[in-house]
């Protein structure tokens, strides 16, 4: 089942992936009552400036021309998933979240718990190859048992997943069709804040497929949104809604610059803030899947954290942005290039670096063996470091993950990542370290620590990372009590027990 993901902050603001629509809603329909009101002729003025009208018509012609050119390259995607009905079906659906159980009970017949039924979803995609290759969001097709693609001319094809990448939320499909109209791929690095863009897709209902909306690029390089591990979103105010996921964001040259993916909203609908994956990031995913069936990523080999005002003051830094190297992996590209702990990375290939998600995304979007140039502050002095990247294999990733296993306590903890936050449905901006495994025969389980617990403090010291956790335990001798302050579900609790012998 494809679950629309929703992330609520303290202000009630949410982020919603825009590809999924519950199949029952598709049958509900829309009120399409027409309202017209004639304007009195006497109110029409003759002082409209002709050059202004000409300029407006010129822009209108550009929008119309681009729409005609690129619309045949956008497709509508239908998915079908076999699921068992449960109460969670309502609670986790976008409409259940925003309207509550009464909405469903009033308008829809919900299957009894435990009964099998078919869940339908709606999304969009972009033709990127004339021989039937379609690019879309991973969350549009994730867990789908059957996928169908409809072209603008009405033809429908069964689709297969050629490859997917959950870390960027992209997927590549193939259909048995030839001589299609692929969309030209642009250069997302060249677009500017304020540039006009068009969003094309199938919002809300199949009857609204190939909807075109216009807006501008309102921001670039949005990261830390919390939707995927690697984030470098284009932000736009071109209207996109659920069902637009996987659709095209194009410039006025008719080139694909982004894949529409998510919206920020308080009511489940468009509120002027949408996010698209840059096409330059998508290019690598498509090329890698085509060549090897998987995505190959660059590897730097460091543990990093954001520069905060508190850290900047404590470390006497004269910067407010960047990332601090907290650990350098042994025999990693970073170590070979001379990076050290406490180095502050402020630029990547000449681009200012804001946070750790940006650095991770930019490194991962490069191929192994490629060189990157980093501007680093060491002891307050700037220096340049060139690193030849390695390959991020599962083995090196496991070695470098910010998690620790404490065998004598019987549990494993990890830093809170966007993926773990989604998996454990954590509150927005939750701090601490998360318990990802508990030995049922260990002392932690004996005293009530559970998988998914957030350890906010240890011995009254605030936890920001696994490193903080390890340091606090290193100061505790066997036999001494450890005091844990834990966040669980909607409450907090204290748990204490003596540290056992190793």
The residues that are catalytic are 139, 169, 245
Tokens (6 digits) for 355: 């946070």
* 3-state secondary structure at position 330: coil
CA separation for the pair 370, 296 (Å, rounded): 12
Q: φ, ψ for residue 173 (rounded to 5)?
A: -110, 160
Q: Enumerate the H helices of 94-200 as residue ranges.
A: 94-99, 101-107, 138-141
Please list, in sequence order, all residues whose beta carbon lies within 8 angstroms of the beta carbon of residue 444, skipping any fewer than 6 positions away: 409, 410, 411, 435, 438, 497
3-state helix, strand, coil in the chain (%, to 5): 25, 35, 40
Q: What is the 3-state secondary structure (H, E, C) of 187-234?
A: CCCCCCCCCEEEEEECCCCHHHCCEEEEEEEEEEEECCCCCCCCCCEE
391-394: Cβ within 8 A, 24+ apart:
391/296, 391/297, 391/298, 391/299, 392/296, 392/297, 392/298, 392/299, 392/364, 392/368, 393/299
CB atoms near residue 268 (< 10 Å): 18
C-alpha closest to that of 279 among 333, 232, 337: 232
Alpha carbon dihedral 252, 254, 257, 262, in 10-degree steps, equals: 90
Q: φ, ψ for residue 335 (rounded to 5)?
A: -65, -45
Q: φ, ψ for residue 305 (rounded to 5)?
A: -145, 160
CA separation for the pair 349, 362 (Å, rounded): 10
Bridge partner residues of 362 (DSSP): none
C-alpha closest to that of 230 among 186, 295, 319: 295
CA separation for the pair 152, 200 (Å, rounded): 12
């Amino acid at each position: 089942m494809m679950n629309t993901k929703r992330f609520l902050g303290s202000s009630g603001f949410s982020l919603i992936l825009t590809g999924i629509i519950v199949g029952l809603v598709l049958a509900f329909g829309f009120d399409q009552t027409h309202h017209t009101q004639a304007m009195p002729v006497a109110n029409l003025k003759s002082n409209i400036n002709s050059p202004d009208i000409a300029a407006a018509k010129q822009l209108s012609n550009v929008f119309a021309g681009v729409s005609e050119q690129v619309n045949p390259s956008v497709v509508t995607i239908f998915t079908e998933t076999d699921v068992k009905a449960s109460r969670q079906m309502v609670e986790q659906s976008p409409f259940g979240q925003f309207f509550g159980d009464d909405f469903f009970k009033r308008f829809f017949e919900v299957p009894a718990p435990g009964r099998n039924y078919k869940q339908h979803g709606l999304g969009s995609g972009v033709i990127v190859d004339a021989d039937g290759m379609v690019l879309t969001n991973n969350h549009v097709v994730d867990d789908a048992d059957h996928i169908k693609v409809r072209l603008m001319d009405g033809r429908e094809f069964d689709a297969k997943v050629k490859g997917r990448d959950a870390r960027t939320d992209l997927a590549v499909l193939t259909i048995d069709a030839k001589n299609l109209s692929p969309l030209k791929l642009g250069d997302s690095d060249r677009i500017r804040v304020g540039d006009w863009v068009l969003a094309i897709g199938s919002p809300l209902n199949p009857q609204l497929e190939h909807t075109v909306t216009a807006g501008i690029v309102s921001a670039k390089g949005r990261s830390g949104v919390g939707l995927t591990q690697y984030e470098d979103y284009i932000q736009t105010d071109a209207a996109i809604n659920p069902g637009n996921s996987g659709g095209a964001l194009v410039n006025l040259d008719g080139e694909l610059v982004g894949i529409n993916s998510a919206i920020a909203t308080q009511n489940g609908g468009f509120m002027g803030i949408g996010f698209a994956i840059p096409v330059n990031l998508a290019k690598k995913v498509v090329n890698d899947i085509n060549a090897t069936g998987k995505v190959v990523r660059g590897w730097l080999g460091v543990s990093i954290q954001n520069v905060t005002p508190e850290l900047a003051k404590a470390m006497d830094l004269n910067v407010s942005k960047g990332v601090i190297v907290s650990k350098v992996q042994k025999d990693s590209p970073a170590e070979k290039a001379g990076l050290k702990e406490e180095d502050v990375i402020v630029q990547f290939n000449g681009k200012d670096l804001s946070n750790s998600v940006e650095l991770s995304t930019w490194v991962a979007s490069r191929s192994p063996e490629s060189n990157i140039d980093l501007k680093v502050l060491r002891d307050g002095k700037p220096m340049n470091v060139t690193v030849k990247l390695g390959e991020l294999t599962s083995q090196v990733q496991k070695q470098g993950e910010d998690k620790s296993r404490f065998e004598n306590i019987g549990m494993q903890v990890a830093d809170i990542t966007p993926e773990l936050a989604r998996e454990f449905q954590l509150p927005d901006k939750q701090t601490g370290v998360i318990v990802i495994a508990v030995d049922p025969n260990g002392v932690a389980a004996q005293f009530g620590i559970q998988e998914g617990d957030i350890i906010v403090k240890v011995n009254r010291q605030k936890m920001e990372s696994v490193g903080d956790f390890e340091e606090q335990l290193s100061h505790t001798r066997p036999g001494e009590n450890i005091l844990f302050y834990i966040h669980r579900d909607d409450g907090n609790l204290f748990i204490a027990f003596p540290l056992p012998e190793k």
